[in-house]
Amino acid sequence: MTSLDAKAKTLLALHQPGNPVVLPTVWDAWSANIAAAAGFSGLTMGSHPVADSVGRSDGEGMSYAELLARVAQVTASVDLPVSVDIESGYGLEPARLIEGLLTAGAVGLNIEDTVHSEGKRLRTPEEHAELVRGLRAAADAAGAHVVVNARTDLFLRADGDEADRVDRAIARLGLAAEAGADVLYPVGRHTDEVLRRLTGELPLPVNAIGLPDTPAKEHFAALGVARISFGPFLQAALGAEANTLLAGWK
């Protein structure tokens, strides 16, 4: 557990507002090795691309065991800190989630507030914070500072009035921060004005989503972002390139 804790702390230290770490979103050992060979300092595994890679749908269409099997393949292939999107937690207790991740060799997680197993309802801010608190407590008990990236889907879902959506996201993620999160993820594509508000008013490093075929690290850095990941877009970009290559052989 000491080595996993050291790897987790290495991952956490990479999150620097204004000097963002880029964590390519991978889904298997092949994609992880490509990203590692390119010189990146850490990786994240996205639920959507992992689900696609095993023939399941996103939104907890795969089981937690299927996800962990992929995670273990990645961590056995690369010597980098790996964070994992565990969606809304698969209906499992925090201790089980943390145990599974650490056993598979991962040292970070994304946890979202859409509950896929309950009609995709949105957790209340307090409920989501309580889950974050449970994850932090379970990680502490296990002896590794698993990097908790608390995500809100408010923007993706376009829930409620747009006029106060940023305010509600900041309040929601603020509770997650108080509960023990390390990073905050208002997932979605934001205007510069909105992203400046989020990075300026949230109390922890902020994760933004980037498009891999539109390099913008410096732009995100100027907006105060601390972490950039690609969601499903790296897999999609590679799929588009593969289609182009294969089209010539029809």
Render each residue's pLDDT in the chain as its tens digit; 250 residues.
779 999 999 999 999 999 999 999 999 999 999 999 999 999 999 999 999 999 999 999 999 999 999 999 999 999 999 999 999 999 999 999 999 999 999 999 999 999 999 999 999 999 999 999 999 999 999 999 999 999 999 999 998 999 999 999 999 999 999 999 999 999 999 999 999 999 999 999 999 999 999 989 999 999 999 999 999 999 999 999 999 999 999 9
CATH of the domain at 200: 3.20.20.60
Let me know if residue 199 belongs to a domain: yes
- Find the angle CA(74)-CA(80)-CA(82) to the nearest 5 degrees: 60
Residue 245 lies in a domain: no
- Asked, for residue 131, whether it belongs to a domain, the answer is yes
**CA gap 84, 110 in Å, rounded:** 6
Q: Could you tell me if residue 246 is inside a domain?
A: no
> From CA 132, how far away is CA 148, in angstroms rounded?
8
Q: What is the value of pTM for the model shown?
A: 0.95
CA 152 – CA 85 distance, rounded (Å): 13
In a domain, 248, yes or no: no
Q: Which long-range contacts (CB under 8 A, 24 or more apart) does 76-79 make?
A: 76/29, 76/105, 77/29, 77/32, 77/33, 78/29, 78/32, 78/33, 78/35, 78/36, 78/43, 79/36
Provide the pLDDT for residue 2: 78
Residue 138 lies in a domain: yes
Nearest to 157 by CA among 186, 135, 184, 132: 186
Q: What are the strands, taking DSSP E only, across the chain?
A: 21-22, 25-26, 43-45, 82-85, 108-111, 114-115, 121-122, 147-152, 183-186, 207-209, 227-229
96 domain residue, yes or no? yes
* pLDDT at residue number 223: 98
Containing structural domain, residue 207: 2-240
Q: What is the pLDDT of residue 174?
A: 98
Total structural domains within the chain: 1
Q: Where are the alpha helices (DSSP H) in 14-148?
A: 29-37, 47-53, 64-77, 94-104, 125-142
34 located within any domain: yes
Decide: 150 and 171 in contact? Cβ < 8 Å.
Answer: no
